[in-house]
Structure 1
Amino acid sequence: MRILILGGTGFIGPHQVRYALSRGHQVTIFNRGRQKEAWPGPVEELLGDRNTGDLKSLEGREWDVCIDNPTTLPFWVRDAAKVLKGKVGHYLFVSTISVYDRNDRPADETAPLAAYEGADPMAETAQTLAKSLALYGPLKAVSEAEARRQFGEAATTIVRPGLIVGPGDETDRFSYWPVRLANPGARWGAEVAAPGDGADPVQFIDARDLAEWIVRMAEQRTPGAFNATGPARPMTTRTFLDGVASGVNAAPKLAWIPTAFLEAQKVNAWSDMPVWIPGQGETFGFHRRSIARALKAGLTYRPLPVTAADTLAWFRTLPAERQAKLRSGLTPEREAALLAAWKAAAKG
């Protein structure tokens, strides 16, 4: 097929490109040209900027499928459709699991989406989104609706990934754990602070599994919305950390710290304790999203230990100054203080 990938040089894009090439497809990527990649085959790169509406390089061309990776703003979909409508056979939009309006119960793709309550979603920009992350889910929901409106229900696929992890993740929202568990007694102490009681659920997906499945969905031109997270079977935080430890050949001493104590110490889920979200209350359903539709549509997963090992190997290729400052998780000093406070509280 002739595949157009909007983006192509971010997190999942390079995996899509390489997988599509391995399956014999012709690949064109469209982006601002700021990140260069070494591809294993011919890749056409078209330059432009969706923020400024510069889509001229897409004009007068046709593709079988368009994969839209980076869109967070509805006007990006609208403007792309002005050039691509009638020129692509199928449009695959990468949305987010955060598109739903509530997270307090398990739900599938039919659950209500977050409502945009501003004046004009098409007037929202990267600057306004940066000022209010609460707009992220609602604007993705509007973008989904715009994709369907422009390209039609039968020719539109909506993919809603959960937490995307693996080699190349610059957020460290997963990388923290392989790095932390592989380094007891080095930068950190021998004991590892772990969130909750180990029974909370976790969901995530390796970027390579997501990217490859998206290409297969593009080949099949399967319409509809799909929650794209994993693993295939429910996983607890304890099993998750065991899997990471196995992948990095570690035998960590975990100190499970109750959710209430973490909250009292202002240790935040997701950022200070990556991957983890409390499995109770208003976030009960966040890591319990149904993935039955994606599994039926062929989504498959690498074993967690493989993802952990590959992520650690990638992380260790980064410059020393980058490795020295993780972008998520607890610093060694803060973890030590947290553990000391928990031990003191436990003694009474």
Structure 2
Amino acid sequence: MNILVLGGTRFVGRAVVERALARGDEVTMLNRGVTGTAPAGVETITADRTDPAALRGALGRREWDAVLDTWSGAPRVVRDACGLLAGRAGHYGYVSSRSVYRWPMPIGAGESAPVVDADPGDEGDQDYAAAKRGGELAVLAAFGDRALLARAGLVLGPYEDIGRLPWWLRRLERGGRVLAPGRPGRPLQYVDARDLAAWMLDGAARGLGGAFNVVGPAGIATMGGLLEAARQVTGAGAELVWTPAEVIEQAGIAPWVELPIWLPEDAEYGGMHDGDVSAALAAGLACRPVEDTVTDTWDWLRSEGDPPARPDRPRHGLSPDKEEKALAMLA
């Protein structure tokens, strides 16, 4: 295929570009040229897509078989791109999020679960859920059944610039007693960015359309399995100290952000690691073992170093003081 990737230098976008090249696709990236560099064999168009005139000039009259878009900001930016490309691209794959579902996300929620209200012309980008849903509406309005909405869940793997799995790896690298949240058998639900990329590209090639929850099945890994894999790969001999959820709450530690990936097993958070992904699996989603994701992420961190923190996301990780306090409470 001849593919246009809007972005392409960070996390999922980078995984998309690498997978497309491995497939033998012709790849064009459009971005501001601020973060990362294009791999060999990729054409780069430098433009600020938030400027409609600049985007129009950069795209010219060219045509592509498929477009893949990872935008997380104002929906208006997605709408502008779709308006320019609707007659010049056969397929539009948009990396959305399961955050588009109304909170709290029901346990076992499928694609028909209620979604948040959103405006595809919205200029704001502060509400992540509304921004992603607005982006979905913009893509659907322009491409209809030629639109693939990948409602990704928790995304892990190499190039992660959110700081979830990288934080755990760096914490375990320091060694000592490490607060391990909840119980080791707590099921997780996530997708490796490379598996997400492969699924979206395969879907583009066969004209797959519609909305899909794109994340591995519930229990594809456990919190214990992930942290043990991280402990093994860092080789630091850290001690995992499993800490009940009530102690974590009493210590004032926030799940998900201060303790990345982990969420309590209750009605409010339960749906985040227990969604219905049968449609994506039936459409060919294949997920690699957690050990591979952890090992490859560690190899990337050692090779390229930690990426700069993203200004549009909260800083993830637990401070040493809070960790020590919680461990003292447990004792």
The two structures have a TM-score, normalised by structure 2, of 0.89
The structure-2 alpha-carbon separation of the partners of 1:158 and 1:15, relative to structure 1 and needing over 3 Å to count, comes to same
Contact 2:179 2:243 in 1 (8 A): yes
Q: Structure 1: how far apart are the matches of 2:278 and 2:73?
A: 25
What does residue 112 of structure 2 align with? 110
Shift of 1:139: 2.3
Does residue 64 of structure 2 align to residue 63 of structure 1?
Answer: yes
Q: CA deviation at 1:199?
A: 3.9
Q: Report the residue type matching 1:52 in the other structure.
A: D
Relative to the length of structure 1, the TM-score reads 0.85
Q: Secondary structure at the match of 2:231?
A: helix
CA distance in 2, matches of 1:95, 1:320: 25
* Distance across 1 between alignment mates of 2:284 and 2:273: 20
Of residues 256, 265, 276, the one that matches 2:262 is 276
Q: Which residue identity does 2:22 align to in structure 1?
A: S
Secondary structure class of the residue paired with 2:198: helix
In structure 2, C-alpha distance between the alignment counterparts of 1:292 and 1:168, rounded to whole Å: 27
RMSD over aligned Cα atoms: 2.4
Does residue 1:170 correspond to 2:161, yes or no?
yes
Check whether the contact 1:232–1:295 (CA below 8 A) recurs between aligned residues. no
1:258-337 mapped onto 2 (5 Å cutoff): 258-318=244-304, 327-337=315-325
Q: Which residue is equivalent to 1:346?
A: none
Equivalent in 146, 149, 154 of residue 155 of structure 1 = 146
Matched-pair contact (CA < 8 Å) for 2:213–2:279:
yes
Matches within 5 A, 1:20-169: 20-41=20-41, 43-53=42-52, 54-55=54-55, 56-102=57-103, 103-116=105-118, 122-126=121-125, 129=126, 135-152=127-144, 154-169=145-160
- In the alignment of these two chains, the number of paired residues is 324
The answer to whether the 8 Å contact 1:246/1:305 transfers is no
Report if aligned partners of 1:113, 1:138 keep a CA contact under 8 Å in 2.
no
Alignment-derived partner of residue 194 in structure 2 = 208
Taking a change above 3 Å as real, the CA distance of residues 179 and 231 of structure 1, as seen in their structure-2 partners, is farther
1:192-203 alignment, distance < 5 Å: 192-203=178-189
Instruction: Give the CA deviation at 1:281.
Output: 2.1
Structure whose CA Rg is larger? 1
CA distance in 2, matches of 1:241, 1:146: 39
Does residue 339 (structure 1) correspond to residue 309 (structure 2)? The answer is no
Alignment partners' CA distance in 1, 2:237 and 2:305: 27
1:286 is paired with a residue whose SS is helix
Distance 1:123 1:211 in 2: 27
Which range moves more in the overlay, 73-82 or 23-32?
73-82
SS class of match (1:300): coil
Query: Given that residues 178 and 241 in structure 2 are in contact (C-alpha distance below 8 angstroms), is that contact kept between their aligned partners in structure 1?
Result: yes
Paired position in structure 1 for 2:174: 183
Cα separation, partners in 2 of 1:251 and 1:104, compared to 1, 3 Å: farther
Q: Is the 8 A contact 2:97 2:132 kept in 1?
A: yes
Q: Which runs of 5+ in 2 are unaligned?
A: none
* Aligned pair partner of 1:255 in 237, 241, 266: 241
User: Equivalent residue for 1:4?
Assistant: 4
3-state SS, counterpart of residue 259 of structure 2: coil
- Cα drift, residue 8 of structure 1: 1.0
- CA displacement at 1:302 relative to structure 2: 2.2
> 1:201, 1:279 within 8 Å by CA — same for their partners in 2?
no
**Partner deviation per Cα, 1:160-207 (whole Å, 9 max, x = no partner):** 1112112221222111222223431xxxxx221111233433222221
